[in-house]
Structure formats: structure tokens, C-alpha cells
């Protein structure tokens, strides 16, 4: 079973189904179900919950951990990213001293399979821990990060050249900044988010991003991203739009307009600089919502515009991004892998040269839009 961290998931999911019980200690024989009031266990403070996280209208669920006190219910970890569970599934700390996910057809998917488990708990730092009878830790979710998808995809442009200065619009939970700061070429990252409450919460409780917030290369600004770009004098090698979708009347729709790209973003890019933005659903049936519009808008401003996409299980759809520049993107799979090896510590679980090469291969229906 795959394990992953999944930061920055927007409110497209059925959060109303996330019923939680305030368990501080999960005993042998305890279980959760996908429906009803017993679908999750909460940390003592109620900040985090562990349990079944519904995936939009798909009827499927991730077994995961999410921040339970903020409206977005941000998912921070999942045990079954690659194989969401159907309705009717159960999570159980069994009498056989294992933590397992059981599908309705009887298929058993181990989460912790080492035996000797006596209890479990979801802690106030968002870590789910399995302990033995002596209260020693046998297994914990924080030991199974297994990389993440969303930041990998949005950061493809950083691998196309050697940027030193980067501006992030949004990204308040810190995941994009964390991935950027893995690159040795980066000297400065400015992250500008308007929601101080979310930023403070994530700084305090999202352990996986805590190091990024402490990195001296990160400059954190609480402000409207457009206003911040307009008052700044310096230019950047990369500008990233890690924002909510451009829903009319929403907080971000003005950050997706032709005038914003042309008169605010482009003047703040260094020569050869790259702009990239998340661009909403990009599936066969969903790409016309905002993805095609964002792509066609950027084509009116930049000489080179590349749309790309990846399936995001926790979004229950294919998701899109668009990168744009006045300089061509020239990088093959082998060069991509070499640059990643030279620049970062460790290895990505998802993004490599072949993935990079295939990401911009869109379906015919999407391309024609």
C-alpha cells in the first residue's frame, strides 16, 4: 500500500461528510466506517482527524489525516492514495494487533502489519501513532511521507533552467515553498498569502512543512499577492500561482486575467523568466471549466505557453497547470533527471524525466479546446 503526503488540497471535496469522534486513545477492536458518525478519530485538541476522507462525487475514500478545525479540511497524509477505498470499507485496529483497511469484498490492505500493537492515537501534531503495551511507538504516519504530487507538478518550471529568485502567490500551507527550497540553486523564495490564519495554523501543525518556514531563504508576506507584486521593485526568475480556482466573485479570479498577466506578472519576471499557475480540473469532461480559458489567456501574453496535467486521486480528477515564458522550454528527460540529481537531496517519488516529458501530452479533446 502506498503512503503519501498530500498538501494543499482545495475545497472541492465533500467536507460535510467528515464526521469525527474525539478519541485520544484507540483500543484493540476499534474501527471506523465510511458512513455515519464513526468515520474518523480526532486528536485531543480537535485540530486533526484520522479516518475516511471522501473524494468529491466519486463515492471513494482516502484513509488519511486532515486538519479538522479549518474550513478547508486540508488533507496532509494518506495511506491509500493510489487505491481509494469504496463505500462500506472499514479501518480497524484488530484483535490480531494490526491496523488494516478492509474493503466490502473482504480484501485486507495492511496499514501497520507488524503485530504487537496495543493502542493507537491521532496526536495534536497530526501524527497517527501505533504503540505496544509499553507505550513504545511501533509505527507512525510521519515515517511514511513518500513524497507528494501537487508540488512536484507545479515545480516543473524550476527544472527547466537555474532560477535563483522565486515568488509564490498563495501557497500558505508551505508545501510549494518546501519543494522549492530543496533546490540548491534557489537563493530566495517570497511566499505571499492573504490568509494569515491558515498560514499560522500550518506553521504550527504541518510538521512536514515546518523546516521550510524556518529556512532563512524564505520571506513570508501576508498580503494580497497582486498588491505585493505591484509595489515590489525587484524581478524574479519564476513566479508561481498556487491559488484557488478563478471562480467569479471568489478571492482569486482577478489573478487569472489577461491584464494581470500582462501588466503585473510579466513586468516582474527577469529576462527568460517563467510563470506557472495551477489551472484547475483538466479532465476530458472538466477541462472547459477553467483550464482551457487560462491556457488561452496566457497565449495572448507570452510567446511560449505549455499546458500540462496529472491525475490527482485526492481531487478525483485530472488536474492542470500552465507554464509560460518569452523564452522556449528546451529540456529532455535525461537532462531533467541529471538536473534533479545535481540539485536536490533524496529522490522524488513521482516526478522524473519521463513523467516530465509525458505531462504535456494532453488528450485530443483537451488539446482542441
pLDDT band, residue 131 (cuts 50/70/90):
very high
Judge whether 15-143 and 150-367 match in fold: no
Read off the pLDDT of residues 90-117 as tens digits, 9 standing for 90 and up.
999 999 999 999 999 999 999 998 889 9
Average pLDDT, the chain: 82
Asked if 189 and 168 touch (Cβ cutoff 8 Å), the reply is: yes
- Closest by alpha carbon to 161, among 357, 348, 325? 325
Instruction: Return the higher-pLDDT residue of 60 and 349.
Output: 60
Q: Could you give the percent of the chain with pLDDT greater than 70? A: 85
242 is catalytic: yes
> Per the residue annotation, which of 68, 193, 242, 317 is the catalytic one?
242
Domain ranges, ordered by start, for the chain: 15-143, 150-367
Read off the pLDDT of residues 266-288 as tens digits, 9 standing for 90 and up.
999 998 899 999 998 888 888 88
Most confident region among 68-77, 106-115, 170-179, 227-236 by mean pLDDT? 227-236
Cβ contacts of 221 within 8 Å, gap of 6 or more: 190, 191, 192, 193, 228
Among the residues of the chain, which ranges form H helices?
150-154, 175-180, 196-205, 210-214, 225-231, 258-260, 291-299, 333-343, 353-359, 364-367
Determine the CATH number of domain 150-367: 3.40.50.150
Written out in words, the top-level CATH class of the domain with range 15-143 is mainly beta
Distance CA(18)–CA(257), nearest Å, equals 35
Predicted structure pTM score: 0.63
* CB-count exposure of residue 368 (10 Å: 0-12, 13-18, 19+): exposed
Q: What is the three-class DSSP state of 203? A: helix
Distance CA(100)–CA(120), nearest Å, equals 12
Distance CA(127)–CA(142), nearest Å, equals 6
* Grid cell for residue 99: 491496523
pLDDT band, residue 71 (cuts 50/70/90):
low
Amino acid at each position: 500500500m502506498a503512503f503519501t503526503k498530500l498538501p494543499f488540497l482545495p475545497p472541492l471535496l465533500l467536507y460535510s461528510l467528515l464526521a469525527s469522534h474525539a478519541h485520544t486513545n484507540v483500543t484493540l477492536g476499534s474501527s471506523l466506517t465510511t458512513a455515519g458518525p464513526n468515520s474518523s478519530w480526532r486528536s485531543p485538541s480537535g485540530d486533526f482527524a484520522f479516518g475516511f476522507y471522501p473524494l468529491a462525487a466519486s463515492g471513494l475514500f482516502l484513509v488519511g489525516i486532515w486538519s479538522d478545525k479549518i474550513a478547508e479540511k486540508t488533507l496532509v497524509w494518506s495511506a491509500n492514495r493510489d487505491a481509494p477505498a469504496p463505500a462500506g470499507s472499514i479501518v480497524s485496529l484488530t484483535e490480531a494487533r494490526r491496523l488494516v483497511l478492509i474493503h466490502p469484498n473482504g480484501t485486507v490492505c495492511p496499514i501497520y502489519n507488524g503485530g504487537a500493537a496495543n493502542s493507537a492515537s491521532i496526536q495534536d501534531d497530526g501524527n497517527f501513532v501505533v504503540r505496544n503495551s509499553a507505550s513504545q511507538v511501533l509505527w507512525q504516519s510521519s515515517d511514511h511521507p513518500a513524497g507528494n504530487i501537487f508540488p512536484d507538478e507545479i515545480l516543473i518550471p524550476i527544472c527547466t533552467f537555474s532560477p535563483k529568485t522565486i515568488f509564490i502567490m498563495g501557497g500558505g500551507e508551505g508545501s510549494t515553498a518546501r519543494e522549492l527550497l530543496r533546490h540548491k540553486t534557489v537563493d530566495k523564495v517570497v511566499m505571499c498569502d492573504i490568509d494569515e490564519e491558515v498560514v499560522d495554523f500550518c506553521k504550527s501543525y504541518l510538521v512536514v512543512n515546518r523546516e521550510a518556514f524556518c529556512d532563512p531563504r524564505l520571506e513570508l508576506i501576508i498580503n494580497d499577492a497582486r498588491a505585493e507584486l505591484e509595489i515590489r521593485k525587484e524581478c524574479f526568475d519564476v513566479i508561481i500561482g498556487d491559488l484557488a480556482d478563478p471562480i467569479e466573485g471568489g478571492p482569486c479570479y482577478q489573478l487569472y486575467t489577461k491584464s494581470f498577466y500582462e501588466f503585473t506578472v510579466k513586468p516582474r519576471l527577469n529576462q527568460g523568466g517563467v510563470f506557472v499557475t495551477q489551472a484547475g480540473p483538466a479532465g476530458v469532461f472538466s477541462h472547459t471549466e477553467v483550464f482551457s480559458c487560462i491556457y488561452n489567456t496566457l497565449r495572448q501574453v507570452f510567446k511560449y505557453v505549455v499546458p500540462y496535467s496529472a491525475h490527482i486521486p485526492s481531487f478525483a480528477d485530472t488536474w492542470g497547470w500552465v507554464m509560460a515564458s518569452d523564452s522556449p522550454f528546451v529540456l529532455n528527460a535525461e537532462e531533467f533527471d541529471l538536473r534533479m540529481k545535481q540539485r536536490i537531496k533524496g529522490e522524488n517519488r513521482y516526478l522524473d524525466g519521463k513523467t516530465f516529458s509525458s505531462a504535456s501530452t494532453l488528450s485530443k479533446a483537451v488539446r482542441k479546446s
